[in-house]
Amino acid sequence: MEEGALFVRDGDAYVATNLAQGGWDPGNANGGTVLALVGDRLEDVPSLVPMTMSRMTADLVRPVPLGRRLRIEPRVLREGKKIQVVDLEVVVDELACAHVRVLRLRQSEFDPSDLPRSSTDERPADALEAPEASRSYRGATPHDPGFLHAVDMRYARRRDGGTAGIWIRLEVPVVAGEPVRPAAFLAFGFDFANL
């Protein structure tokens, strides 16, 4: 099995590689890697007009095993020219492992300058020490789970002494031989919101 990506294609399915391995059980994938695959496959769901992901909610209801075939089953719940709602289910051995709902907005309707002001900081990343100055999680334990070899994840202190943050950068393809698409980059980090 190719080890340069989180997943490899197997016909119409995918198989998680050791780079997708999570920290809770060495036989199962990290939640962020599963969400990255879901985000990647979301880009294949057609829409009436160009759309941008506005919201993603995910329920990871059971572990996704490494080395087993999994399918991503998308279903458009609401199709429109302004919004689209898509459900994506991660299925292994006919069992649902994750339920994901995505709201996409028409790109012409989305203007970042119309977003409300942040309730925390004007630019939260500016409050964090630079990634190069932050401590890497890689090598933090004697037996790093596989996903830590696929991602550059760094604990970042705040410059003002407030609550710390984390820098995350995916360093390998989600699917072997394919470029990483924007929704996959974004979705990968969702599983780390509780760090």
Q: Is residue 35 part of a domain?
A: yes
The residue to which tokens 């080890």 are assigned: 3
pLDDT one-digit tens code per residue, 59-79: 999 999 999 999 999 999 999
What is the C-alpha to C-alpha distance for residues 97 and 115, in angstroms, rounded to an integer?
33
Q: Is residue 128 part of a domain?
A: no
User: Which of residues 109 and 183 earns the better pLDDT score?
Assistant: 183
pLDDT one-digit tens code per residue, 119-161: 565 677 778 888 888 888 777 776 777 888 888 888 888 888 8
Q: Is residue 141 part of a domain?
A: no
What is the C-alpha to C-alpha distance for residues 67 and 63, in angstroms, rounded to an integer?
13
- In the chain, how many domains are there? 1
Q: Is residue 98 part of a domain?
A: yes
Residue 195 has pLDDT above 50, yes or no: no
Report the predicted TM-score, pTM, of the whole model to 2 decimal places.
Answer: 0.86
pLDDT at position 12 is 94
Q: Is residue 38 part of a domain?
A: yes
Q: Is residue 146 part of a domain?
A: no
Range of the domain at 74: 7-107+172-192
Q: Is residue 145 part of a domain?
A: no
Instruction: State the pLDDT confidence band at 2, using cuts at 50, 70 and 90.
Output: very low
Nearest to 67 by CA among 41, 92, 46, 50: 92
Q: What are phi and psi of 40, to 5 degrees?
A: -65, -45
CATH number for the domain spanning 27: value is 3.10.129.10
Q: Is residue 46 part of a domain?
A: yes
